[in-house]
Amino acid sequence: MYESTDRLFYDYPCEKGGVLGAGVVQGNRSGLTVLKVIVAVVILGVLLAVLRPALTGSEFHCGRPSTQNTMKQWGLVFKMYANESEGERFPALADVPGVWAPDLAEVYPEYLTDPALLVAAEHPEATHLIGVAQTALGKELLDYSFAAKVMGESFAYLSHIALNESDVMTLAKERRAGRLGRDNTEAILEGKRRIIPLREASGSACFGPVVLETTPWVGAQSELPVLIEIARWKQQDARKTFKGANVLYMDGHVEFVPLGTFPVVPSVMNVLSGLAP
């Protein structure tokens, strides 16, 4: 789909007759001076620093700021939507099987104005996917379902409270049964468990009350994952060296969560990536 950018280093045009490192001395004119060598070394150092990620394949460096900034923008989208929605709820899940994305019809274009936010900045096919997202959300098409699929290549959205692996598995079960979505935004009852949709707290840094089993739980928004980066986990080669993922929490902060710490655990990542039911 894309040509390797390595060709840039081979196809770059040179001046006619120019040969790298060909210093000459003619008469009293010196081809290379100490000053020229120093300048050349400095320039090469700067170029290597800029090009190192592309040369080493480390586009997916943990804690990368650009994807984190994208996720923070999503945090603002969710907050703005919740502040104006009935019951201060967060957006519902998109009704697209295998994709954990917000219902884009609820947020675009009033709250989400840039389709590029559907794609993690360092996704290996980010440019192409952003173009697809812009087309899907264009005035002539406005295909929310396809745009959700594009977002599902980079991120997974949790519309309900999930504090552990069991909560996510319950959400997946309820979703397969058709009990999650725009028309199902109330608490889910499963025995003694209540799975609560995300709602903005009123005048408090806490979210509550939440009932797990029969015990009320009131905790900080900073503990509730909302958006999880899944781009690398969906790539088989990248999973071999996968060390963690960025996670957006309900209070709006984004942090890199190492593999093995909820929600970045294999079973959850497989479900949210569509690799497991």
Tens digit of each residue's pLDDT (9 = 90 or more) over 155-166: 999 998 898 999
The answer to whether the CB of 137 falls within 8 A of the CB of 147 is: yes
Residue 17, in any domain of the structure? no
Distance CA 120, CA 242 (A): 16
Q: Is the pTM of this model over 0.75?
A: no
Residue 32, in any domain of the structure? no
Residue 38, in any domain of the structure? no
218 Cβ contact partners less than 8 Å away, ≥ 6 residues apart: 206, 207, 208, 209, 210
Closest CA to 242 of 225, 256, 226, 224: 256
The answer to whether the CB of 153 falls within 8 A of the CB of 122 is: no
Average pLDDT over residues 150-158: 97
Distance CA 171, CA 138 (A): 32
Q: How many CB atoms lie within 10 A of CB 64?
A: 18
User: What is the tally of structural domains in the chain?
Assistant: 1
Q: What is the pLDDT of residues 86-142, one digit of tens each?
A: 888 999 999 999 999 999 999 999 999 999 999 999 899 999 999 999 999 997 889
Distance CA 94, CA 159 (A): 10
Residue 254, in any domain of the structure? yes
Residue 125, in any domain of the structure? yes
Residue 22, in any domain of the structure? no
Q: What is the pLDDT of residues 15-62, one digit of tens each?
A: 333 333 333 334 444 455 777 777 777 788 777 766 654 444 444 444
Within 13 Å, how many C-alpha atoms sit on residue 208's CB side?
13
Residue length of the chain? 277
**Structural domain harbouring 100:** 65-272
Query: Hey, what are 193's tokens?
Result: 């468990």
Residue 149, in any domain of the structure? yes
What is the pLDDT, as a whole number, of residue 96?
93
Closest CA to 91 of 102, 99, 100: 102
Residue 115, in any domain of the structure? yes
